[in-house]
């Protein structure tokens, strides 16, 4: 079957609207993302923020919404509402757990969308390796083929028994959006944009790389993908999931701003490196003790054989190099604020390769006094 070419949306002006959906009348009730909303207001002062909730959403719009409302599942109500809002008003939908980092860049992208004759919507990818389209950040003109496709999915195909597969079979935004691209001929990677290294246009949709709208993947992601293009930070709170690990739960209940999350990662990295060094020190100390015991046994054998006089004793055993390395590493960390940034990874590599050499380098750095090592 030949793929259908998407229809072009009518020419229109940028309505300068941001759409936000949050139902505070359903669990988890309290809106924990209000400080994110403040960044929308600060970074996009000339945009209207349309707030969708129980007071202005038709909970009988279709069977999907009815089932979601009955199940008290606001995340799945939102899955429909975003597309309906974009269809009626245009503009950009952004998940409530998103922080706007750079309003200037985001405004430019939306302006370019409304000026373009080549595409009628734009999205990003959640993570470079999986290439999932971002259902949490979608901008579209009224009449966009992508928006109409998604609306039809919720109004017809998904309004029925497929509701039961929403999580079991992954019938959620990114996976459903991939069907749009597959259906019009983008069969590579099953409609996902894996390893996308530059923005591309397909099916009248511009797809931006991960760094634009998703610099971190998952709520506890440790790998950051940040560039001059990064304009939105998505927490990935996944409020539809009841069971999450303790760290994810902590971030969901007390969401950090992006800068705070970066500091959190840096602090955890320091703790992890210190822990690794302490473990290394322990292993070195065990070996040091074994070496000392063997030397004592060898000395006794030589005494018994008459090779050495009975009065001979082992030389004083110095503090083990690995233990001293830990001490100096911790002192170096303590001086971080006054001494400036330090390269923790390089310090750990030096310690792993040669603890004695590490002590020399660290002592010189901290005390400023030379210490000859032979």
CATH of the domain at 200: 3.90.550
Whether 216 and 342 map to the same domain: the answer is no
Q: What pLDDT sits at residue 237?
A: 83
Rounded Cα distance between 258 and 264, Å, is 10
Rounded Cα distance between 16 and 332, Å, is 51
Whether 178 and 275 map to the same domain: the answer is no
Whether 323 and 234 map to the same domain: the answer is no
Whether 238 and 300 map to the same domain: the answer is no
Q: How many helices (H) and strands (E) does the chain have?
A: 13, 9
Whether 233 and 276 map to the same domain: the answer is no
- Over the chain (374 residues), what is each successive 10-residue block's mean pLDDT? 79 97 90 96 98 96 95 94 98 97 98 98 96 97 97 93 86 93 92 96 98 90 92 84 72 88 82 69 78 76 66 51 53 49 55 58 54 42
In a domain, 237, yes or no: yes
Q: Which of 247, 282, 315 finishes a domain?
A: 247
Domain interval for residue 198: 17-247
In the chain, which ranges are E strands?
17-21, 48-52, 91-94, 98-100, 121-123, 137-140, 200-202, 205-207, 232-234
In a domain, 4, yes or no: no
Rg (CA), the chain: 30
Question: What's the pTM?
Answer: 0.73
Whether 311 and 207 map to the same domain: the answer is no
Domain count, the chain: 2
Contact 127, 216 (CB under 8 A): no
Whether 41 and 166 map to the same domain: the answer is yes
In a domain, 331, yes or no: yes
In the numeric block, which tokens belong to residue 58? 């038709």
Whether 114 and 168 map to the same domain: the answer is yes
Give the pairing type, strands 232-234 and 98-100: antiparallel
Whether 283 and 238 map to the same domain: the answer is no
In a domain, 9, yes or no: no
Whether 164 and 272 map to the same domain: the answer is no
In a domain, 165, yes or no: yes
Q: Which of 215, 247, 279 finishes a domain?
A: 247
Q: Is 77 exposed, middle or buried (0-12, 13-18, 19+ CB in 10 A)?
A: buried
Whether 132 and 194 map to the same domain: the answer is yes
Q: Which of 180, 213, 247 finishes a domain?
A: 247
In a domain, 146, yes or no: yes
Q: What pLDDT sits at residue 283?
A: 80
In a domain, 105, yes or no: yes
Helix (H, G, I), strand (E, B) or coil at 18: strand
In a domain, 6, yes or no: no
Give φ, ψ of 140 to 5 degrees.
Answer: -160, 145
Whether 224 and 290 map to the same domain: the answer is no
Q: What pLDDT sits at residue 355?
A: 59
Cα 239 to chain centroid, rounded: 16
């Amino acid at each position: 079957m030949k793929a259908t070419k998407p229809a072009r949306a009518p020419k229109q002006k940028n309505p300068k609207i941001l759409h936000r959906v949050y139902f505070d009348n359903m669990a988890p009730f309290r809106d924990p993302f209000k400080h994110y909303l403040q960044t929308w207001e600060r970074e996009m002062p000339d945009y209207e923020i349309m707030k969708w909730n129980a007071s202005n959403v038709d909970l009988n719009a279709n069977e999907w919404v009815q089932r979601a409302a009955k199940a008290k599942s606001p995340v799945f109500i939102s899955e429909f509402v975003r597309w309906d809002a974009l269809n009626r008003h245009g503009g950009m939908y952004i998940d409530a757990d998103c922080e706007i980092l750079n309003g200037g860049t985001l405004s430019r992208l939306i302006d370019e969308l409304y000026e373009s004759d080549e595409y009628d919507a734009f999205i990003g990818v959640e993570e470079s390796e999986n290439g999932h389209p971002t259902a949490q950040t979608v901008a579209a003109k009224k009449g966009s083929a992508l928006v109409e496709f998604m609306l039809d999915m919720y109004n017809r195909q998904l309004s029925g028994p497929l509701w039961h597969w929403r999580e079991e079979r992954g019938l959620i935004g990114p996976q459903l959006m991939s069907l749009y691209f597959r259906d019009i001929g983008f069969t590579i990677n099953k409609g996902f944009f894996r390893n996308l290294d530059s923005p591309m246009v397909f099916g009248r949709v511009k797809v931006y790389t991960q760094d634009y709208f998703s610099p971190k993947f998952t709520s506890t992601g440790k790998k950051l993908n940040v560039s001059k293009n990064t304009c939105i930070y998505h927490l990935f709170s996944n409020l539809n999931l009841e069971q999450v690990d303790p760290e994810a739960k902590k971030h969901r209940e007390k969401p950090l701003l992006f800068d705070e999350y970066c500091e959190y990662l840096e602090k955890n990295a320091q703790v992890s490196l210190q822990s690794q060094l302490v473990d290394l020190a322990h292993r070195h100390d065990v070996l040091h003790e074994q070496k000392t015991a063997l030397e004592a046994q060898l000395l006794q054998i030589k005494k018994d054989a008459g090779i050495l006089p009975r009065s001979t004793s082992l030389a004083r055993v110095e503090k083990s190099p690995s233990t001293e390395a830990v001490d100096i590493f911790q002192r170096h960390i303590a001086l971080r604020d006054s001494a400036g940034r330090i390269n923790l990874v390089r310090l750990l590599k030096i310690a792993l390769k040669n603890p004695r050499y590490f002590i020399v380098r660290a002592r010189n750095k901290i005390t400023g006094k030379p210490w000859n090592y032979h």
